[in-house]
Structure formats: C-alpha cells, structure tokens
Amino acid sequence: MNDKREKRLNSEFQKEIYNILKNKVKDPDICEMFSISEVDVTNDLKHAKVYVSIFSGSDASKKRTFDAICASAKTVRSELGRVMRIRTVPELHFMPDTSTEYGMKIDKILSTLTYSDNMPDDEDI
C-alpha cells in the first residue's frame, strides 16, 4: 500500500472510530474524556492498532474506561464496515497511549537540570 493511501486510511479510521465510540456505543463505563491519538493499520488491512488517550485524574476510572473501549471493539468494527464501506475492515487492537505521561516525565526531568555559565572552555579540557 502506498504511503499516501496509508496515511489517509489511518486518518479516516481515527476519525470514524472516535465518532462511533462517542456517539453509537452506549456503555456507561466510557465516562471519561478520551481521544483516539493514532491508528496504525497494517498493509493487508487485517489488523489496526488504535492508540487511546484517556484524560482522567484517577487510574481506576482510566482503567474502567479503557476496558470498556476494548470490550466494544467488535461493535466498533462492525459499525466501521457500515460507515466506511470498505471490503476489509481490520481487527481492532486498542492500546493505551502513554505519550503524554512520558512527555510530562521528560519535562519534569528537564526542569530539574540547571544551566551553569561556569562551563569549562575548550582550552581547559
């Protein structure tokens, strides 16, 4: 599959999966704010990794929301087939997106570093 088509499909899947989860899946456990940050479909369209970011203060409600999203994978897949009208609808594998937590960790590490003007010159080394 060419790169342009792959990017377009990933973007379209990302948008449609979010819309389906937000508007058509009626699970009360999906109670936290979430976003589909990325979708990565394989070349043969058999599998798709769906990265989900969940914005919540408590880890328990994050886990409950993520588990409910994972449980709705078959429903989302069948609805994707209707909405997108493609021959092969990939099997969805939901993955937690931890990039924001990782970014916050790196920011915290960088904020502890201090810059010193007393760096040795090249001559001193």
Q: Read off the pLDDT of residues 64-99 as tens digits, 9 standing for 90 and up.
A: 999 999 999 999 999 999 998 888 899 999 999 888
Identify the domain containing residue 45 by its residue range: 3-98
Q: Are 16 and 84 in contact (CB under 8 A)?
A: yes
Q: Encode pLDDT of 28-64 as tens digits.
A: 888 888 999 999 999 888 999 999 998 877 888 889 9
Apex 50 CA angle, 81 and 85, nearest 5: 15
Residue 123 covered by a domain? no
What pTM was computed for the model?
A: 0.79
Residue 112 covered by a domain? no
Residue 27 covered by a domain? yes
Q: How many domains does the chain have?
A: 1
Residue 115 covered by a domain? no
Alpha-carbon distance of 56 to 59, in angstroms, equals 7
